[in-house]
Chains A and B, each alone.
Chain A
Amino acid sequence: MYRSKRVSLFAGFFAFITFSLLFGLNCSPKSSLYFSDQASGGGADTRQGFDVLSCTPGAGANATDTRRLTRIELSNTLSDLFGATVFSELSAPLSRLPDDLIVNDVDRFENRYTRDHLDVIADIAFAAAQSATATDARMNALLTPNGSCTLATLTNACVQNFIRNFGLKAWRRPLSAAEETWALDAYNAGLNARDRFSALISALLIAPDFSYHWELGDGTGTNDEFNVSQFEVASRLSYKLWSTMPDANLFGLAAQGRLNDPAVLESTVTTMLASPRAQQKIREFFVFWLNTQNIPGLPDNANFVSGVDTTGLRSEMKRELDEYVDYIVFSRRGNYRELLTSRVSFARTAPLAQIYGHNLSANPGLADQQMAVGRKGLLLRAPFLISGTDYTHPIVRGVQLRKRILCDTLGAPSPDAFLAQTQIVDANAALTMNNRQRITAVTSAPNCMSCHAAINPIGFALESFDTLGRLRTTEVNYDASGARISEHALDLRVDDLKVDFVSGESVGSAEQLVDLIASSSKGSICMSRQIFRYYNVRSEASGGDACEVLDTNSGLAPAGGSILAGIKKQVLNRYLQAKKVKR
């Protein structure tokens, strides 16, 4: 019986290693990217083992392809075009749109419309037009802004104005004369007055002008490099900050040619950033960055949980995290360091307050709840520490921090890695080891250590937290039935941490690890890179992209800076008006 319990414990441990391999963690060496700001005199980064992502002096904008609208951009744009009532009637075809797969990895975004996409978009265009023209009231709501027209008082001028006004909004730019003729042809294909508008609207929506972010410039420059038009600037701002089409104010500023005035841009973006839509997008960025829509479950071992009521606890952990982010970003207007190091807690239930080691305040919104010593900031909050088992996963924790917080690239799986690790640990002997010792043994093969030398230390520094997110002083092991079988001392001291891949980084606690990351340029630059990825829906590269990342970093990293300032600089980056075509 006892033997089988031990086998179960370590079978679970090995199953975890297997899971890690299947999903991309591996020990194959691959260099990471790092940054140097040659433009500001930083010079080339020569630290061994790293590619340098350089912002070179005078670098122009990186060449890019045209991007399609993401699913959320498409939905938001339709909602803005037609209003909530019509939009609510499009839920069925919209639900059939293929997923964009960009959560936490923009490189998975398929920047083209597949046949499945186009089939659905045709249905959406038809359904939206049918719905928008379904009743006289809806028709007249569309028509009245175009010269007090109604279905009953329709004139050619009404139709012309409608094409002009609705076309501007749908394609986010004025239509040319040829395009207006194209639209009028669509209108004339309708079967009756109402259906003519339906045909026109659906034609405008199915056109590629609606569904891509075309940037064809203002007529200046060359075909390879040029300035984008005022309306294209308006779209850049609105889709970056709101994930939707420009509003009337932006269209107006574009029409007046004022979106190349730095003062106008500054005030416009400041206003936009303060809007609920921009705040919502910032929250969505954090979901993307931290993968918080995939928070693990909680352990179910009653002996392990021991007295903590876990009912609704996972949701409370997620809610608290969201409120904390809101507080730092919007209320405090905090910078990167404050995000990573503030002790403020927004726990609103006794179990989470218990885990965070403070009494439950009557008003946590006033930020008078402080987490106990040993825990601070974003990274030591429960959602990043919990898992469904009663034993910790230092490798997972290390990988998550490496990939998300430090932007390290971890290599592809080595086919023989799993086989290698199963041969080097004896299960009976491992029962006498703590988690750190077991993992050190399992990953000790040379072909593993090329990566695990960077992964494991970070995970070991977090061993002061159990999988319920509680601080602990010893490590307790349980068997498959949930019974306690062993207890080990913790060993939190790690040397050669390699946060910045500079030898000699040592910490003795999780808080010291957080301080090290918070003060490293690599940490804040990684957040800037993640902001670049989310707001541009693509990964960054050397050249202009690197400069754009450094622009962002100059907003969110310094003392006195803020995350909002970083996002603002991402939007108002040095290439806001520039376009380079990829050849």
Chain B
Amino acid sequence: MAKKFDLSRRDFVKAMGSASLFLPMLHSVPARGQMAGAPLRVIFIMNRNGQWADNFYPAVTTTQVAANIFQAPLTSIAGDVAPLFGTAYNSLKGKMSILRGLDITGPVDHCRTSFLCAVTQGGAANSEGNRPRFGASADWLIERSPNFYATAPRIRTMRYSNDPGRGFSFSNVNGVISDPPYLNTDSGFFNNVFAGVSSGAPAAVDPVARKSFLIDKAIERLNVLRQNRRISTTDAQRLSDHADNLNDIKAGLTITAPVACTVPAMSFYANGQQRRKIYENVNNTIVAAFTCDISRIACMYIEDYDDLATEYSYFHDLSHRPRSAANIQESALRNKWIADRIAHLLQRLDTTIDVNGRPMLENTLVLWGSEICCKEDVESHRPESMPVMVAGWPGKFRMGSFIDYRQRPFVHVANRGDFPAIGRPYTQFLCSIMRAAGLQSSEFMPYGQNGYFGEYTPNQYNPDSYTPYAAMRNDNLPYFVL
């Protein structure tokens, strides 16, 4: 016989009280794959060779905000954020964050699979092979998720690389390897996106602007009705309340000009000509494609470093040079050229009004990273402290911050001659992005090692350093995730 259910009055009241605590949360759960009426977009940008820490990270005093988490607001920095983030970033300080102490939990390597797969290569050691040992890159997973793309777009991911044959999108599923192609000319990239598309009226009316307009029209009618002498005093009051409520709703709306789907007019450039212009074309193509909702994901692989290079500019040797002011400055010069191309893209996103009436940058996550570390001394291919600059998705991630996840005190490793400054798994960062993009954990956790996304093979320098995070390596990145 089934057990009787005896509910005391006290328990009933307690249960009702407890349940009521959760009621506000029911309204705070965001819809998957969209932010406040606009689609989510994501842009991944990578250049090889890592960065010098001196160039990439702000020289600013941080304060501890949680165990092994330190933070400083970027807006508190007078002048440039860091040598790489110059004047072009000054207006973006509150809209971007720089993260330090996110580590690949795998062996020392030099493979593009680290950036979005968090997995080392499948070829010979240090051969710079481009195949992951297993798993898949975040862009590959996001573009396949029905929680990100509810319906198939014209193009799932737009991919551009100035270096033919090189990208960072991979998958290795049960030995079946995919390596999506990257287009390497601005014209090819543009035509792939806009072939057969013509400019026209706005793709969709801005619902916020329309809502505001409708409220105005309703208030006009409320005012007319309120004048009618055949309505009761209660009705008149009700109409006043009605108008007040509508005005209250309207006050919460941010109205901007509606976004238009416009195929941009542009002149194309061959490699070796005006490389700055090529990237402006690529950036403009990405923003226009987002505006027309042709695609919501872009990947960009950059190895250029000046405006008039005759071919893609390979400066890998810089990453092996010893620490010196000259070497650090030379690296800054080349990488700042890349940073400025990214700043152009961020500015374009920030000044384009999205369908929800907000800057497109708020609906777009931009990640700039690399496949290896931010080096501080002689070792260039350390897996610790992957360079991470992110912008966008302010409701999901903490923006305007320099966040340092390195464990304190810094641990000196005798055979390295520096402080490896171990932080926490980089996989937490990538998993946070995928969850924020709407993916369920079950959509990415099978793509890695032992049921977790990414790789977990602590290297020879720090075999025990990540133990506290072993079971949490696919959790959301604390403090950064809101």
Closest to B232 in A: A582
- CB of A207 within 8 A of chain B? yes
Contacts of A126 in B (CB 8 A): 207, 210-211, 214
Q: Is B2 in contact with A300, judged by CB distance below 8 angstroms?
A: yes
- A216-B231 CB under 8 A given contacts A114-B245, A482-B1: yes
Contacts of A122 in B (CB 8 A): 211, 214-215, 249
Q: A257 CA to B470 CA in the complex, in Å?
A: 81
Q: Is A209 in contact with B234, judged by CB distance below 8 angstroms?
A: no
Q: Is A65 in contact with B2, judged by CB distance below 8 angstroms?
A: no
Interface string of B6-37 (1 = CB under 8 A from A): 11110010000000000000000000000000
Interchain CB contact (< 8 A) of B6 among A15, A118, A223, A583 = A15
Q: Is B230 in contact with A8, judged by CB distance below 8 angstroms?
A: no
Count, chain A residues at interface, CB 8 A: 52
Q: Which of A209-240 contact B (CB under 8 A)?
A: 209, 214, 216-217, 223, 226
Q: Is B232 in contact with A22, judged by CB distance below 8 angstroms?
A: no
- A8-B6 CB under 8 A given contacts A126-B207, A202-B210, A223-B230: yes
Q: Is A302 in contact with B1, judged by CB distance below 8 angstroms?
A: yes
Give the shortest distance, in Å, between A313 (CB) and chain B (any CB).
16
Contacts of B245 in A (CB 8 A): 113-115, 118
- CB of B408 within 8 A of chain A? no
Q: Which of A289-303 contact B (CB under 8 A)?
A: 300-303
Stretch at the interface among B216-224, B309-317, B440-448, B461-469: B216-224
Give the shortest distance, in Å, between A557 (CB) and chain B (any CB).
33
- CB of A11 within 8 A of chain B? yes
Q: Is A217 in contact with B211, judged by CB distance below 8 angstroms?
A: no
Q: A126 CA to B37 CA in the complex, in Å?
A: 13
Contacts of A189 in B (CB 8 A): 213
Stretch at the interface among A24-32, A190-198, A442-450: A190-198
- CB of B202 within 8 A of chain A? yes
- CB of B225 within 8 A of chain A? yes
Give the shortest distance, in Å, between B38 (CB) and chain A (any CB).
15
Interchain CB contact (< 8 A) of B249 among A12, A115, A185, A303 = A115
Q: Is A66 in contact with B205, judged by CB distance below 8 angstroms?
A: no
Q: Is A206 in contact with B215, judged by CB distance below 8 angstroms?
A: yes
Q: A301 CA to B1 CA in the complex, in Å?
A: 6
Q: A186 CA to B218 CA in the complex, in Å?
A: 11
Q: A182 CA to B217 CA in the complex, in Å?
A: 8
Contacts of B2 in A (CB 8 A): 300
Interchain CB contact (< 8 A) of A118 among B4, B7, B246 = B246
Q: Is A22 in contact with B9, judged by CB distance below 8 angstroms?
A: yes
- A192-B201 CB under 8 A given contacts A115-B249, A122-B215, A207-B218: yes
Q: Is A118 in contact with B231, judged by CB distance below 8 angstroms?
A: no
Q: Is B6 in contact with A195, judged by CB distance below 8 angstroms?
A: no
Give the shortest distance, in Å, between A397 (CB) and chain B (any CB).
21
- CB of A254 within 8 A of chain B? no
Q: Which of A371-387 contact B (CB under 8 A)?
A: none
- CB of B239 within 8 A of chain A? yes
Contacts of B228 in A (CB 8 A): 216
Q: A482 CA to B4 CA in the complex, in Å?
A: 9
- CB of A407 within 8 A of chain B? no
Interchain CB contact (< 8 A) of A208 among B4, B210, B211, B239 = B239
- CB of B241 within 8 A of chain A? yes
Interface string of B170-207 (1 = CB under 8 A from A): 00000000000000000000000000000001100101
Contacts of B416 in A (CB 8 A): none
- CB of A565 within 8 A of chain B? no
- CB of A18 within 8 A of chain B? yes
Contacts of A12 in B (CB 8 A): 4, 6
Q: A15 CA to B9 CA in the complex, in Å?
A: 7
Q: A18 CA to B217 CA in the complex, in Å?
A: 52
Q: Is B221 in contact with A125, judged by CB distance below 8 angstroms?
A: no
- CB of B61 within 8 A of chain A? no
Q: Which of B229-249 contact A (CB under 8 A)?
A: 229-235, 238-239, 241-242, 245-246, 248-249
Q: A245 CA to B232 CA in the complex, in Å?
A: 23
Q: Is A112 in contact with B258, judged by CB distance below 8 angstroms?
A: no
Q: A472 CA to B67 CA in the complex, in Å?
A: 70
Q: Is B4 in contact with A8, judged by CB distance below 8 angstroms?
A: yes
- CB of A480 within 8 A of chain B? yes
Give the shortest distance, in Å, between A151 (CB) and chain B (any CB).
14
Contacts of A115 in B (CB 8 A): 245, 248-249
Contacts of A195 in B (CB 8 A): 201, 205
Q: A198 CA to B7 CA in the complex, in Å?
A: 54
Q: Is A208 in contact with B217, judged by CB distance below 8 angstroms?
A: no
- A216-B217 CB under 8 A given contacts A191-B201, A199-B210, A300-B2: no
Q: Is B230 in contact with A226, judged by CB distance below 8 angstroms?
A: yes
- A206-B229 CB under 8 A given contacts A114-B245, A118-B246, A119-B249: no
Interchain CB contact (< 8 A) of B232 among A63, A119, A125, A303 = A63
Q: A65 CA to B258 CA in the complex, in Å?
A: 41
- CB of A581 within 8 A of chain B? yes
Give the shortest distance, in Å, between A189 (CB) and chain B (any CB).
6
Contacts of B12 in A (CB 8 A): 22
- CB of A481 within 8 A of chain B? yes
Q: Is B242 in contact with A208, judged by CB distance below 8 angstroms?
A: yes
Interchain CB contact (< 8 A) of A217 among B217, B224, B230, B242 = B230
Contacts of B220 in A (CB 8 A): 182
Q: A87 CA to B83 CA in the complex, in Å?
A: 57
Contacts of B231 in A (CB 8 A): 66, 214, 216, 581
Q: Is B4 in contact with A207, judged by CB distance below 8 angstroms?
A: no
Contacts of B221 in A (CB 8 A): 182, 207-209
Q: Is A65 in contact with B234, judged by CB distance below 8 angstroms?
A: yes
- CB of A347 within 8 A of chain B? no
Q: Which of A16-47 contact B (CB under 8 A)?
A: 18-19, 22
- A582-B234 CB under 8 A given contacts A15-B9, A195-B205: yes
Q: Is B217 in contact with A581, judged by CB distance below 8 angstroms?
A: no
Contacts of B232 in A (CB 8 A): 63, 65-66, 581-583
Contacts of B205 in A (CB 8 A): 191, 195, 198
Q: Is B230 in contact with A216, judged by CB distance below 8 angstroms?
A: yes
Contacts of A66 in B (CB 8 A): 231-232, 235, 238
Q: A113 CA to B241 CA in the complex, in Å?
A: 9
Give the shortest distance, in Å, between B207 (CB) and chain A (any CB).
6
Q: Which of A303-357 contact B (CB under 8 A)?
A: 303
Interchain CB contact (< 8 A) of B242 among A8, A15, A118 = A118
Q: A118 CA to B244 CA in the complex, in Å?
A: 11
Contacts of A63 in B (CB 8 A): 232
Contacts of A123 in B (CB 8 A): 211
Closest to A390 in B: B4
Q: A139 CA to B235 CA in the complex, in Å?
A: 36
Contacts of A199 in B (CB 8 A): 210, 213
Contacts of B239 in A (CB 8 A): 208
Closest to B244 in A: A115
Give the shortest distance, in Å, between A413 (CB) and chain B (any CB).
12
Q: A195 CA to B206 CA in the complex, in Å?
A: 11
Contacts of A203 in B (CB 8 A): 213-214, 217-218
Q: Is A202 in contact with B214, judged by CB distance below 8 angstroms?
A: yes
Q: Is B218 in contact with A208, judged by CB distance below 8 angstroms?
A: yes
Q: A197 CA to B410 CA in the complex, in Å?
A: 66
Give the shortest distance, in Å, between B281 (CB) and chain A (any CB).
28
Q: A303 CA to B4 CA in the complex, in Å?
A: 13
Contacts of B224 in A (CB 8 A): 178
Q: A209 CA to B205 CA in the complex, in Å?
A: 25
Contacts of B4 in A (CB 8 A): 8, 12, 480, 482
Contacts of B258 in A (CB 8 A): 191
Interchain CB contact (< 8 A) of B225 among A8, A208, A482, A581 = A208
Cβ-closest 5 pairs across A and B: A582-B232, A115-B245, A207-B221, A482-B1, A203-B217
Known pairs A182-B221, A203-B217, A214-B225; list 16 more (Cβ under 8 Å).
A15-B8, A18-B9, A22-B12, A65-B232, A115-B248, A122-B249, A123-B211, A202-B210, A206-B218, A207-B217, A207-B221, A214-B231, A226-B230, A581-B231, A582-B233, A582-B234
7 interchain pairs (CB within 8 A)?
A112-B242, A122-B249, A125-B214, A126-B211, A209-B225, A302-B1, A482-B1
